[in-house]
């Protein structure tokens, strides 16, 4: 197509908008309404995700260490943890640091007295890449807890129930007093230790405690998944409805000009020559329709953001995503959606009339 032909298309497309002023206005208004809802839901979805991430990032797993492990033991444990694929972050907190933290939290000098005889345990804080993995990961950690125990106590573990005679060779005789499990129905791992091995009451000396909030994590994972499904469905439905309405509106503007299309066909216009002005018309309508809600939503969001950030309680729970971050993505998307809806609407509306 020649440049002047494109000029002609743009000219025709834009003059078409004004020739059918009322219809164009109606189409634009409908695009605006649809895009408005799309932006609104995108804002909500992004922020719910954003807030979820903040909450999730606060959720960690803390391993409290006993007195027994040496610093070398701890270092090798940290290395092991860092090499686990689920782990995103490992932080070691020494007893001194724990004390400092406690001082910060309780805001008192009273704790200074404990400096030389610090009762606080060393700990390792873990963050997971995805909290959905937590449940399985905890199982792995419990395994690790036993392995670490073996390492620091220098004892071996029995892999299978103690009734298996082969195992008795690796269990030092002196330590097997209470470790025998009589029923083969029990598949629980049995450990050779004079302190009631495999027992729930066993007190670990390496990793004393694995602390995590499974209940909260489960709830969050459920909410997160449900919300994603709901939001995706919502956006899909909205887009389909918008395209449907716009198609109908453009169909009317095309119907008004079906004579023009007809005549163009008779004088030998190619299908694309006929389509382009309508497509441009649709794109312009879609674009204009998308600009308006983009502006309104940006201004509205900035206002809500400042209200939210000034609210002390809300601010401490979570933050909204800054307007810049959100709208530099959403505005191009919504303009694109607007233009796409307009173009799709136009193409599908004139298809019928081209068959002459």
Partner 1 sequence: MIKMENVTKVYENGAVGMRDTTLHINKGEFVFVVGSSGSGKSTFMRLLLKEVEPTSGKIIINGTDITKLKRRQIPYLRRKIGVVFQDFRLLPSKTVYENVAFAMQVIETNPKIIRRNVPQILAMVGLGKKANAYPNQLSGGEQQRVALARAIINRPPILLADEPTGNLDPETAWEIMELIQEIHRNGTTVVISTHAKDIVDKMQKRVVTINKGSVLRDIEGGGYSDEAKNVEILY
Output b/e per residue, 309-336; b: 16+ Cβ within 10 A: eeeeeeeeeeebbebeebbeebbebbbe
- Binding residues for partner 1, rule CB under 8 A, total 20
Among positions 256-275, residues that touch partner 1 (CB under 8 A) are: 259-260, 262-271, 273
Among positions 4-33, residues that touch partner 1 (CB under 8 A) are: 4-5, 8, 19
Pairing of strands 87-93, 123-128: antiparallel
User: In this complex, which beta carbon is closest to partner 1, that of residue 212 or of residue 275?
Assistant: 275
User: In this complex, which beta carbon is closest to partner 1, that of residue 264 or of residue 283?
Assistant: 264
- Residue 304 CB contacts under 8 Å (≥ 6 apart), including other chains: 320
Q: Which stretch binds partner 1 (CB under 8 A): 3-11, 90-98, 244-252, 276-284?
A: 3-11
Shortest spacing between CB 260 and partner 1, in angstroms: 6
Q: Which stretch binds partner 1 (CB under 8 A): 1-9, 179-187, 221-229, 288-296?
A: 1-9
Shortest spacing between CB 353 and partner 1, in angstroms: 13
Shortest spacing between CB 284 and partner 1, in angstroms: 19
User: In this complex, which beta carbon is closest to partner 1, that of residue 337 or of residue 350?
Assistant: 350
Question: Which H or E element spans position 65?
Answer: strand 61-65
The string of DSSP letters for 235-275 reads HHHHHHHHHHHHHHHHHHHHHHTHHHHHHHHHTT--HHHHH
Instruction: Determine if 351 is a binding residue for partner 1 (CB under 8 A).
Output: no
Among positions 267-326, residues that touch partner 1 (CB under 8 A) are: 267-271, 273
Shortest spacing between CB 251 and partner 1, in angstroms: 19
Output b/e per residue, 197-227; b: 16+ Cβ within 10 A: bbeeeeebbbbbebebeeeebeebbeebeee
Shortest spacing between CB 351 and partner 1, in angstroms: 13
**Cα-based angle 331, 337, 341 (whole degrees, multiple of 5):** 150
User: In this complex, which beta carbon is closest to partner 1, that of residue 4 or of residue 139?
Assistant: 4
Shortest spacing between CB 16 and partner 1, in angstroms: 10
User: In this complex, which beta carbon is closest to partner 1, that of residue 54 or of residue 270?
Assistant: 270
User: In this complex, which beta carbon is closest to partner 1, that of residue 230 or of residue 263?
Assistant: 263
User: In this complex, which beta carbon is closest to partner 1, that of residue 92 or of residue 273?
Assistant: 273
The string of DSSP letters for 140-194 reads HHHHHHHHHHHHHHT--EESS-TTSGGGGGTS-GGG-SS-----TT----EE--T
Q: Which of 68, 222, 61, 216 is nearest to 140 (CA)?
A: 61
Is there a contact between 286 and 341 (Cβ–Cβ < 8 Å)? yes
Is there a contact between 196 and 39 (Cβ–Cβ < 8 Å)? no
Measured CA distances, 192 to 150, 204, 206, 209 (Å): 9, 13, 16, 20
Shortest spacing between CB 1 and partner 1, in angstroms: 8
User: In this complex, which beta carbon is closest to partner 1, that of residue 8 or of residue 50?
Assistant: 8
Shortest spacing between CB 226 and partner 1, in angstroms: 49
Measured CA distances, 108 to 96, 112, 116, 122 (Å): 15, 8, 17, 21
User: In this complex, which beta carbon is closest to partner 1, that of residue 211 or of residue 262?
Assistant: 262
Give the binding site for partner 1 (CB under 8 A): 1-2, 4-5, 8, 19, 259-260, 262-271, 273, 356
């Amino acid at each position: 197509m020649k440049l002047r032909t494109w000029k002609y298309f743009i000219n025709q497309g834009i003059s078409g908008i004004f020739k059918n002023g009322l219809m164009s206005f109606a189409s634009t208004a409908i695009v605006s309404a649809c895009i408005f809802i799309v932006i609104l839901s995108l804002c909500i979805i992004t922020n719910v995700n954003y807030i979820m991430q903040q909450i999730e990032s606060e959720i960690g797993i803390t391993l409290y260490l006993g007195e027994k492990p040496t610093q070398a033991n701890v270092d090798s444990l940290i290395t092991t943890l860092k090499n686990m694929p689920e782990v995103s972050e490992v932080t070691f907190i020494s007893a001194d640091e724990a004390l400092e933290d406690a001082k910060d939290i309780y805001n008192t000098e009273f704790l200074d007295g404990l400096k030389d005889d610090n009762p606080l345990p060393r700990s390792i804080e873990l963050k997971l890449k995805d909290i959905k993995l937590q449940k399985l990961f905890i199982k792995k950690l419990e395994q690790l807890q036993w392995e670490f125990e073996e390492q620091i106590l220098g004892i071996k573990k029995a892999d299978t129930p103690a009734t298996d005679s082969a195992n008795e060779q690796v269990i030092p005789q002196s330590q097997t007093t209470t470790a025998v499990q009589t029923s083969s129905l029990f598949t629980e791992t049995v450990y050779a230790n004079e302190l009631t091995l495999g027992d729930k009451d066993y007190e670990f000396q390496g990793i004393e405690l694995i602390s995590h909030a499974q209940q909260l994590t489960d709830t969050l994972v459920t909410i997160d998944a449900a919300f994603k499904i709901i939001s995706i469905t919502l956006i899909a439905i909205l887009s389909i409805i918008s395209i449907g309405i716009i198609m109908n509106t453009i169909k009317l503007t095309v119907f008004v000009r079906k004579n023009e299309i007809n005549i163009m066909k008779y004088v030998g216009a190619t299908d694309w020559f006929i389509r382009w002005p309508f497509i441009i018309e649709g794109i312009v309508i879609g674009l204009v329709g998308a600009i308006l809600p983009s502006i309104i939503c940006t201004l509205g969001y900035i206002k809500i953001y400042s209200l939210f950030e000034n609210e002390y309680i809300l601010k401490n729970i979570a933050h909204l995503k800054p307007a810049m971050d959100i709208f530099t993505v959403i505005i191009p998307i919504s303009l694109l959606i607007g233009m796409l809806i307009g173009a799709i609407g136009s193409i599908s509306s004139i298809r019928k009339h081209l068959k002459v």
